[in-house]
Chain A
């Protein structure tokens, strides 16, 4: 392999690695959105997921326990969101913000209570690479796609599965119909409430896992605010991806690419102050939203609560 190839492979590998939290959080957002639930607590759920994921892995010396715990706590947040908005019919945005606050507060509170303040940051093992026999031997592609940690595979398979579920099954059709017109879906016998609860909980579990990925792959420990806006970017990404699993996946690759590129240029030192490179993902998000606003459409009923007894939709 020549120098360029080596560079390319290592860049692409890192992009695949960085794509995971974006994919998980955005697919989770998409699931809820398809039934009309619009959450803005991604950042908070990711942070609390990072926190309990780290704690679980640290206390039980098992990444699996950490990941499951993060998904469980994420699921609780999803349940709360579904209960407050679907059953109590409270404003989705305000509830989402409140849950964001609680997640944020818990994320820093829990490690302080459980572990306390230590001189050295407590470390957990990072997620190991699991090469897939045979496939990982393919030149270039093998290294990029088939010699990664399990959550990279999971993110890819999840996106394929969600695409299949949404567009090729009757459950997917029902899901999509709720986000467009819950009244019509309800009259056809779709269980709107069950679907909303289900997508909210599963979606939030994915967000929790997205958070747990950060200490397990990036840092080996939990640091305050370590999601660094990824939860908010995930919302933008979901809009930009038109609430479709396959486009969201491509969008996640784009944002991961920007993130890694900013890091690379920073290390390479091209005379640009590194602070301006750190701005790139956020500026890219804003620019993408400008372009995306022209051609994407969101589910028609997004962000609204469905009341069976009301005659009109809005």
Chain B
């Protein structure tokens, strides 16, 4: 009995020790931005309330948050999975775009197929294309030892032109003013969970994948090798793990996750390919992965919090005329303060 109590007390203490730096970081970031907003003459308390509670005031706000949560969670995983092996995937944006292109291509070309056939094909195309886009820098790393940070970034810029080409030259929708393709077949659309306001089933897919990734990394030999590689590549090599293959596969897996988020954007949200559909998901994904310190269990929770901030910030723009970019500053500051807490702890 007493043993159990101490064990419980111990785990509570660990949980508190983990959470306190986060709470301090969030508060500190809000204080800094609050001072900034007050100096500009805005009502700071109203701004805080808007950014924190918009998601929970109305069903619409909550569903909007869940909608935003899906790409953020997947982008964060796309960054975190390679990070587990010690590699930085900054190419989630391009992988999302190429995944979306693949999904849209299948959805348009095979528009006549029924849902049980077309939807899996659309999703699969997104995963494969995203994985392929990551496979290029991954292979360059494997074959020539070229730093993956720069090559993944460069692939983002290449994808911007690619989506522009597809949306303006190949399947252009002449009625749309903005580069957009014609819609995909109805059979390729993700079913809705809630009709109004619309919530597509992409969120189930994303959560399922998040659990799958967590279980794979923490409960299987392959996942163990991945973690070992990230912890100490040299020791892992001596131990007999093929670390180069681990780097290769972790980056491709990251690309596949980003590609899936692209497919969900096409099949669930827009039902067509739209230039700019990647939004700023990549940067937010990286911020989430870094705030979570690469912990796959923490990623889904941090991603939800960031989704709340993002939805709150867009309300801030509508109601208080505070530019939406303020959310980005808050998030970057939270990250910086979380990182700083490591320094404090070290001393």
Contact = CB atoms under 8 A, between A and B. Distances in A.
B154 A286 contact: yes
Contact of B153 (A101, A112, A232): A232
A90 B331 CA distance: 19
Contact of A102 (B147, B156, B329): B329
Interface string B162-181: 10110011000000000000
Interface stretch (B1-9, B98-106, B338-346): B338-346
Interface stretch (B200-208, B221-229, B320-328): B320-328
B149 interface: yes
Given A101-B283, A101-B287, A282 B325 contact: no
A212 to B, nearest CB: 20
B328 A104 contact: yes
A285 B168 CA distance: 26
A109 B321 CA distance: 12
Interface in A65-108: 84, 88-91, 93-95, 97-98, 101-102, 104-106, 108
Interface stretch (B61-69, B116-124, B138-146): B138-146
Given A101-B335, A106-B329, A275 B164 contact: yes
B85 to A, nearest CB: 15
Nearest to A111: B323
A98 B325 CA distance: 15
A90 B157 contact: no
A106 B33 CA distance: 12
A308 B287 CA distance: 31
B84 to A, nearest CB: 15
A273 B172 CA distance: 14
Contact of B283 (A89, A104, A113): A104
A45 to B, nearest CB: 14
B286 interface: yes
A98 B339 contact: yes
Given A40-B149, A113-B323, A97 B290 contact: yes
A88 B157 CA distance: 34
Nearest to B317: A112
A87 B162 CA distance: 43
28 contacts: A88-B343, A89-B343, A90-B339, A94-B290, A94-B339, A97-B290, A98-B336, A101-B283, A101-B331, A105-B328, A108-B325, A109-B325, A229-B154, A232-B153, A233-B154, A273-B165, A273-B169, A275-B164, A275-B165, A279-B157, A279-B161, A281-B157, A285-B154, A286-B151, A289-B147, A293-B145, A293-B146, A294-B144
Nearest to A93: B88
Given A109-B323, A112-B323, A289-B150, A101 B328 contact: yes
B28 interface: no
Given A95-B339, A275-B164, A109 B326 contact: yes
Contacts, number: 106
Contacts of B145: 293
B293 to A, nearest CB: 10
A236 B90 CA distance: 15
A95 B338 CA distance: 11
Given A102-B332, A105-B328, A276-B161, A88 B150 contact: no
Contacts of B342: 90
B40 interface: yes
A152 B309 CA distance: 43
B158 interface: yes
B165 A276 contact: yes
A50 interface: no
B294 to A, nearest CB: 10
A278 interface: yes
Given A112-B325, A275-B161, A282 B154 contact: yes
Contact of A113 (B40, B88, B165): B40
A56 to B, nearest CB: 19
A118 interface: no
Counting from the closest, the 4 A-B pairs by CB-CB distance are A105-B328, A275-B165, A101-B332, A109-B325
Given A90-B342, A97-B290, A104-B328, 18 more contacts: A84-B339, A88-B343, A90-B340, A95-B339, A106-B329, A108-B323, A112-B325, A113-B40, A229-B153, A229-B157, A273-B169, A275-B162, A282-B154, A282-B158, A285-B150, A289-B140, A289-B147, A293-B146
Contact of B140 (A40, A109, A286): A286
A97 B329 CA distance: 13
A187 interface: no
A15 interface: no
Contacts of A108: 323, 325
Nearest to B137: A286
A229 B155 CA distance: 11
A104 B158 CA distance: 20
A279 B162 CA distance: 8
Interface string B269-289: 000000000000001001100
